[in-house]
Amino acid sequence: MSASRLIAKIACLCLLTTTLALLASCDEATDPVLPGGITAVSGDNQYSKVGTAVPDPLVVEVRLEDGSIASGVSVRFQAIDGGGSVTKSTAKTDGNGVASTHFTLGPSEGLNRVRASLADDSSINVDFSATAGAFFCPEQDPTFVQRFFPLSVAGGLLLFTRESNLNTQGNTTIAGIISMSTASAAGTLSVDTQSEARWEENEFSINVPRDLAFAASGELFGVWTADEDEVIKISPGGIESHFAQAVGFLGTEIATAPKGIVVGVDEFGLFSLGCRDSLERFQEARFSGMGNDRANDDALAVDQNSGDAYFIYHGDNYVYRLPIDSLSATGPIEQVTELTLDEAEGANGMVVDNGGIIYILVDTDNTKALLKVDSGTKSVYFDFFSRGAGDAAGIQNDLAINQDGNVFYTLDTLNNKLLLLQKPIPQLFEASAETTGELSSPSSGERVGLVWMPKP
């Protein structure tokens, strides 16, 4: 065999060996790793009002069969029950293997479901559930929770106070909530009281009571403050629990809303407490809270018939109206009437009667009056200087109106007297500490909360 043919044969053998080796290598190669599973990370089992978006996005994670993160994989989101909709029907997983979408509930109450599946293999999927209700959260449903009323005398007045010796046990004063039923006759006012919620006074060395309000469901909420305000939920028997963190630094006022938990105002403007620890701002009445671009955090009222919320804006010293439906505005914001600077700064209570007339309690060195605003026209309904000059005029704190809309209540914390004003011609009745015990401690310089307890 010639040398050239031998070299060619060796070359062919080498090529064949290399080819066989490559084929063997390919045969031994591992099959590509495919997505092996999809799991729900967050967003399952949410609750909101029909036709609204649930609070949190629906988030899934995709991993490969070997357990490693699967990035760049397409995930399909589809509403399968309830008639809702998603913002993104398809989303790719990010570098952490995560994809998400937002979900809006369908038009009817009940169960909603969204299925998240791999776009290339729909058999790999996971479902999210959500409940559509008539309210934004269960606490708003009048049939969902126990009311505050059963252990109270419905139709009475509640006082939220830092210190009182009403219904004392031994020589110990109490701090908390006192219910009062009142009767006025022959120019005098009698008060029958009982303690509805009692806390140790050292609790109030930090937490200062600010306001009370009932939810539409009849549950009772309060605001107290230390470094910042906290909204608490108060059950019968005086057991209090955290409900929401308010962000106001100057103060917070709350009021009953017909279709919601409570509406509040602080220096940043109007907000609604729709669910536990969910504070929603009304963008139409939102301010910086700086300088005069702020709301009066002592005066707020909600019309129980129309749902309109009323507050005072320091930027122009006007009373404003915003029609609301729980967590959203239903119309434009409007000016109602202009106040003087003294009235706007000194307003520390506001209510609306059954006829839609607004009453504003003002207490400053120069103005101590209950103002009446009827169809945009402002007048002085009662002048507390009629009680006398100086200390005799008192310092009136907070304002409440009974369910029939014909009696106003305020507390003179300087002279420690509960004041009652009867309509239509304002007739003043006073109940003093000598006859009722210490309603509150004027030396504490406290603010108080007054609210009428509606009948179930």
Domains of the chain with CATH codes: 35-133 (2.60.40.10), 138-452 (2.120.10.30)
Q: Which of 220, 247, 167 is nearest to 456 (CA)?
A: 220
Percent helix, strand and coil across the chain, each to the nearest 5? 15, 50, 35
pLDDT higher for 416 or 313? 313
- 407 contact partners, CB below 8 Å, separation of at least 6: 401, 420, 421, 422, 423
Binning pLDDT at 50, 70 and 90, where does residue 361 land? very high
Residue 35 exposed, middle or buried by CB count within 10 Å (0-12, 13-18, 19+): buried
The Cα–Cα gap between 372 and 358 comes to 6
Q: Is the pLDDT of residue 74 over 90?
A: yes
Query: 172-225 pLDDT, tens per residue?
Result: 455 577 777 766 555 555 555 555 555 544 455 567 778 999 887 777 888 887
Query: 105-148 pLDDT, tens per residue?
Result: 999 999 999 999 999 999 999 999 999 988 777 666 666 544 56
Q: Report the first-to-last Cα separation within the chain, whole angstroms.
A: 115
- 6 contact partners, CB below 8 Å, separation of at least 6: none
The Cα–Cα gap between 218 and 34 comes to 55
Q: What percent of the chain has pLDDT over 90?
A: 46
* Average pLDDT in the chain: 81
Query: 244-256 pLDDT, tens per residue?
Result: 887 766 689 999 8
Query: 60-73 pLDDT, tens per residue?
Result: 999 998 889 999 99
Binning pLDDT at 50, 70 and 90, where does residue 168 land? very low
Q: Which of 261, 243, 247 is nearest to 294 (CA)?
A: 247
- Residue identified by tokens 């988030």 is 59
Task: Give me the phi and psi of 149, to 5 degrees please.
Answer: -60, -40
